[in-house]
Structure 1
Amino acid sequence: MSTADYATYIASLPRVIAGAAAVLRDAEGRVLLVEPNYREGWTLPGGTIEAQDGETPRQGAWRETVEEIGLDVRLGRLLAVDWSHGAGRPPIVAYLYDGGVLSDDDLKAIRLQEEELLSWRLVSRAELGEHLLGSLHGRVLAALDVLADGSGTAELENGVRVDR
């Protein structure tokens, strides 16, 4: 296959958006959520993976966490992967990593990226549905289940587990 044919083939392939985020908790098990200024609802610290620059999902989750809340956390294991369809955009594949338990000092050290975020808060599992829209709610619940029961990475489609 010539270089031009290969480039044409690659250009014809379907596209997906890839994102990654960290599930950060406090000692009480509440999840740290951030409020973006560019859309409705809350989310986890994270964002789009800069794959064109060679970034991996883990690196993207770490970079976005540092950029958005100013914390350099060591990410643990992969908790969940979700394939999520949406109107007017390609599918998103989202990776959630264990960001660990934040100390009181960590929480005091949070510095929001003001260009993108309005605020942050800690939210109990029971209240997540009031803050997280669409498939993100199911994605975070699955990640918390994996943390609680020690099972392997959860595979989801549109926020619903398909690996069970």
Structure 2
Amino acid sequence: MDSAYTHYIAGLPHVLAAAATLFRDTEGRVLLVEPNYRAGWGLPGGTVEADAGESPREGARRETREEIGLDLPLGRLLAVDWSRSPVRPPIVMHLYDGGVLTERQLGAIRLQEAELLSWRMVPRARLADFLPGQPAARVTAALDVLDRGEGTVELVDGVLPPGMED
């Protein structure tokens, strides 16, 4: 690679990638985890290890295995969210369908104690009580996609971009 191109690539904006898995139970409740390193709750997931060649799907599965001890194949991509913040680079969030967990699978959950305090199943109507604005909107949009049997929803900061509303 020539040095001009290398310099050009090095000067491009940095964007982070993250991936998470949306699990439900037979009652439609959503699996949330409580991290010990920040306030609030979230889905099993985290930063994609792109430097190691990991894809978002691989990252979501790895994070799920590490955080809650379940190593399950992931379903389709439900949502992609361009998440902006004044304190970090943008993050492209990928949210995958983990499906409906059986009682046996729920009983097999083992928390990664180095990062997580607890887990719980939360009804859709109470998601905003546990998740901050953007993540709650992202999960709700993904649940809407599942309810409608549609493909993937594109979001910006948790909401449909202008011109994409129904």
TM-score by length of structure 1 reads 0.97
- Shift, 1:5, TM fit: 1.4
Equivalent in the alignment of 1:55: 54
Provide the rounded CA distance (Å) in 2 between the counterparts of 1:137 and 1:16: 22
Alignment of 1:27-42 (within 5 A): 27-42=26-41
SS at match of 1:39: coil
Provide the rounded CA distance (Å) in 1 between the counterparts of 2:127 and 2:46: 19
The alignment's C-alpha RMSD in Å is: 0.9
Gaps in structure 1 of 5+ consecutive residues: none
Provide the rounded CA distance (Å) in 1 between the counterparts of 2:51 and 2:133: 27
Equivalent in the alignment of 1:158: 157
Q: Percent identity?
A: 64
Provide the rounded CA distance (Å) in 1 between the counterparts of 2:133 and 2:9: 31
- Shift, 1:151, TM fit: 1.1
Provide the rounded CA distance (Å) in 1 between the counterparts of 2:69 and 2:144: 27
Equivalent in the alignment of 1:100: 99
SS at match of 2:87: coil
Provide the rounded CA distance (Å) in 1 between the counterparts of 2:160 and 2:122: 22
Equivalent in the alignment of 1:7: 6
Equivalent in the alignment of 1:67: 66
TM-score by length of structure 2 reads 0.96
Equivalent in the alignment of 1:135: 134
Equivalent in the alignment of 1:109: 108
Q: How many pairs were matched up? A: 163
Gaps in structure 2 of 5+ consecutive residues: none
SS at match of 1:24: strand
1:44 maps onto 2:73 in alignment: no
Provide the rounded CA distance (Å) in 2 between the counterparts of 1:41 and 1:148: 26
Equivalent in the alignment of 1:84: 83
Provide the rounded CA distance (Å) in 1 between the counterparts of 2:100 and 2:38: 27
1:64-118, Cα deviation, whole Å (9 max, x unpaired):
0000000011100000000011121001110000000000000100000000000
Provide the rounded CA distance (Å) in 1 between the counterparts of 2:46 and 2:133: 16
SS at match of 1:79: strand
- Shift, 1:139, TM fit: 0.3
| Structure 1 runs of 4+ with >4 Å offset | none
